[in-house]
Structure 1
Amino acid sequence: MPPKKAVVEEKVQLGRPGNNLKIGVVGLPNVGKSTFFNAITSSSVAAENYPFCTIDPEESRVAVPDERLDWLYANYKTGNRTPAFLTVIDIAGLVKGASAGQGLGNAFLSHISSVDGIFHVVRAFTDPDVVHVEGEVSPARDLEIIHNELRLKDLAMLDKFIENNRRNIERMGSGGSVDDRKKRDEFAIIVRVRDWVSEGNDVRKGDWSNKDIEAINAQHLLTAKPVTYLANVSEKDYVRKKNKFLPLIKKWIDENNPGDKLIPFSGAFETALAALEDPQQKADFVAARDNTASAFPKIITTGYESLNLMHFFTAGEKECRAWTCRKGAKMTDAARSIHNDIADSLIQVDIMKFEDLKAAGSEAELKAAGKLIIRGKDARIEDGDIAYFRSGEGRAKK
């Protein structure tokens, strides 16, 4: 008999399942969080020069830039173009001691608990007119404060779970039902996670099995969330691409959370650029600053990808649209992003690879070249696929 094929276990992802995920803007007071949020969302959130001016989280959606959607829109000559979106939430500043309730800390930490990823804004500019809550600008210290507060809050939650369940676990002994064994396993996992966090580590940096991750996800831990670091520099430093604090920030990230992304931006630059409505004025503004482009497209795309999100396209006479799904999603999961009825009765999906379509120039030419791909409902969709879903009820979504 031929050997059986090895079954590769699908890796469970840290965090909340689903496509409608949110990313929160986190940092100390007066580092430029609300300024960043105002500019990136074209919203109107208070950005005053004192701590805690933003008390309630503000939420907005920002379009995820993608040149492939622009090409589809131009070539299909449709009336509507709908991009993928990233939901961004502005969260008021944390302070040292927030995990113990200092500075409205408990409320702010609960707001962080409700998001799926973090934009960690750190101040990398000096300005005597903008008060620093710790007295002087020191990015490494600021990063350490936020890192510790999130970790200490996780530690408190894990210790509480262990305290509340230890006695019941000890009473169970080594036997018991399937449910008892499951509870003992979960308890042992949480103890290991607590030990990992107590050593100064973020949960997201651990090497966890699928069973571990399922237990971790039930705890909604703050340090399990992906982080993108954003260094707010002065406009001058942003244009000249030099800043004395950036090497220190990069060193701290490499030592504490290696692999995390660091993106410099300038709140002052982005605010001035966002205030210009006329395209020519924007072009003149950029040209006058050595053609320095906005950092927002890179920030949005990086944040979107940090949540393990991607998008596929539908294109036709009425609309070109990007649909968000998780990386590695099956065709049925992708179809559910559009409508449950399509997913429930899905038979097959016609797929055009974007690069193939662009090279061919049109659907007709692509099909003539034999490049149309037929996929079953259990196949996986890939980033940038142009999909035509065929359902069992004779309906299709293009």
Structure 2
Amino acid sequence: MPPKKAVKEDKILLGRPGNNLKSGIVGLANVGKSTFFQAITRCPLGNPANYPFATIDPEEARVIVPSPRFEKLCSMFKPASEVPAYITVFDIAGLTKGASAGEGLGNAFLSHIRAVDAIYQVVRCFDDAEIIHVEGDVDPVRDLEIIANELRIKDIEFAQKHLEGVEKITKRGGQSMEVKQKKDEAETVKKIIGWLEAGKRVANGTWSSKEVEIINSMMLLTAKPCIYLVNLSEKDYIRKKNKHLLALKQWIDQNSPGDVIIPMSVCLEERLANMETDEEREEECKKIGAQSALPKIIVTMRAALDLISFFTCGPDEVREWTIRRGTKAPQAAGVIHTDLMKTFILAQVTKYNDLIELGDENAVRAAGKLLQKGKDYEVEDGDIIYFRSGAGKN
């Protein structure tokens, strides 16, 4: 008999992000975080200033996810209400060396990071004598080391405290199921501590499903996906060159392999955000020969978390919903309303491309492409779904 093909197991992702995705903007003080926050949210929140800790309490705002499919569906259905997908972005106070020991706004800063699903880490790669750097000069690799070490040190502290709590139960002895589970958990936590002490981020490890459950319960800082936003001067961003980029990429490849690097210019984004119309922004981008990085920054965060969209459509409302890839139909229904999940009967699914190709729902039905899916169906990106349930909610 031919040998069985090896089954490739997908990497189990950390965290439980969903329809209300929360992302925090972090970095050292004076690297452009608050100005970036204002640009991406198009709002006057945040507190950009030329001194450390201008932002104390995290500001938050919703950012609409760019979605040509959503816009197309709205133009087709012309609904009374249009609800796009969004991410909630938090502007978090600047970190400083010693934050893990409570320096600066350390403890508050780190608690705010624990509350988000993912991190935008802003790294300064521009020179400006008028904007002070808390470490005295511009050195992005040193800045990355500072933040990585502070988050890692705090995670070791979190993990050690968690281990103490687990071991209190294991020391009781006995053969109960709880003691057995806690012994397994203790071994996992020790493994996590060893990983952190070796200088690695938890997010860059490969963990079993049981280990992932434990890690998720611990809310570790280094377990969160991170997208590195390299803040360049407008000139360097347009010409796509900067003296720090190679060293910065080498550091991330070695210390945070697989994580995404996106060059941007907060200065340019701020200037574009202050323009009154999209037409003005498009014209300026053509003039300088560069595009805003914001759409890529938003979409890349969803991809890093393996998030996809499904749609509910009708004359009353077109809405884009966010779920994790691999989500079954009942759980997707639960994003809309918990009763839909509890009393799920079936999902009527139209593929986005079929609707666009055939023109309307009646044509999809006539072509036999309106699909009836049960509780084992994994929702696919772009599905247009009508859920039927036994609770009178559809």
TM over 0.5: yes
Alpha carbons of structure 1 residues 68 and 129: separation in structure 2 relative to 1, 3 Å: same
**Shift of residue 87 of structure 1?**
0.8
Query: What do residues 297-343 of structure 1 show as CA deviations (whole Å, max 9, x unaligned)?
Result: 11011112323322101112222210122221111111122222333
**Shift of residue 278 of structure 1?**
2.4
1:203 aligned partner, one-letter code: V
Equivalent residue for 1:216? 215
**Shift of residue 46 of structure 1?**
1.1
Equivalent residue for 1:242? 241
Alpha carbons of structure 1 residues 356 and 105: separation in structure 2 relative to 1, 3 Å: same
**Shift of residue 359 of structure 1?**
1.6
Alpha carbons of structure 1 residues 42 and 300: separation in structure 2 relative to 1, 3 Å: same
Structure 2: any 5+ residue segments left out of the alignment? 1-6
Quick one: distance in 2 between partners of 1:145 and 1:199?
16
Aligned length: 387
Quick one: distance in 1 between partners of 2:305 and 2:344?
27
Quick one: distance in 1 between partners of 2:368 and 2:168?
65
TM-score, structure 2 as length reference: 0.93
SS at match of 2:385: strand
Quick one: distance in 1 between partners of 2:339 and 2:322?
17
Alpha carbons of structure 1 residues 345 and 234: separation in structure 2 relative to 1, 3 Å: same
Alpha carbons of structure 1 residues 10 and 307: separation in structure 2 relative to 1, 3 Å: closer
Quick one: distance in 2 between partners of 1:363 and 1:161?
53
**Shift of residue 287 of structure 1?**
2.3
Quick one: distance in 2 between partners of 1:46 and 1:18?
28
Aligned-residue CA RMSD (Å): 2.0
SS at match of 1:288: helix
**Shift of residue 395 of structure 1?**
4.8
> Aligned to 2:331, which of 317, 322, 333?
333
**Shift of residue 168 of structure 1?**
5.3
**Shift of residue 74 of structure 1?**
1.5
**Shift of residue 169 of structure 1?**
3.2
Structure 1: any 5+ residue segments left out of the alignment? 1-6
TM-score, structure 1 as length reference: 0.92
Equivalent residue for 2:3? none
Equivalent residue for 2:314? 316
Equivalent residue for 2:140? 139
Equivalent residue for 2:32? 32
Quick one: distance in 1 between partners of 2:182 and 2:306?
29
2:306 aligned partner, one-letter code: N
SS at match of 1:29: coil
**Shift of residue 294 of structure 1?**
1.1
* Maintained 8 Å contact 2:167/2:182: no
Alpha carbons of structure 1 residues 343 and 288: separation in structure 2 relative to 1, 3 Å: same
Equivalent residue for 1:279? 278
Equivalent residue for 2:170? 169
Quick one: distance in 2 between partners of 1:338 and 1:11?
27
**Shift of residue 9 of structure 1?**
9.6
Matches within 5 A, 1:33-112: 33-44=33-44, 45-112=46-113
Quick one: distance in 2 between partners of 1:119 and 1:243?
20
**Shift of residue 66 of structure 1?**
0.8
* Maintained 8 Å contact 1:354/1:384: yes
Quick one: distance in 1 between partners of 2:367 and 2:132?
64
**Shift of residue 388 of structure 1?**
1.2
Alpha carbons of structure 1 residues 30 and 224: separation in structure 2 relative to 1, 3 Å: same
Alpha carbons of structure 1 residues 208 and 256: separation in structure 2 relative to 1, 3 Å: same
Quick one: distance in 1 between partners of 2:278 and 2:304?
30
* Maintained 8 Å contact 2:169/2:179: no
1:57 aligned partner, one-letter code: P
Query: What do residues 8-54 of structure 1 show as CA deviations (whole Å, max 9, x unaligned)?
Result: 99986422465423111010001100010011112222100000000
**Shift of residue 98 of structure 1?**
0.7
1:114 aligned partner, one-letter code: A
Equivalent residue for 1:4? none
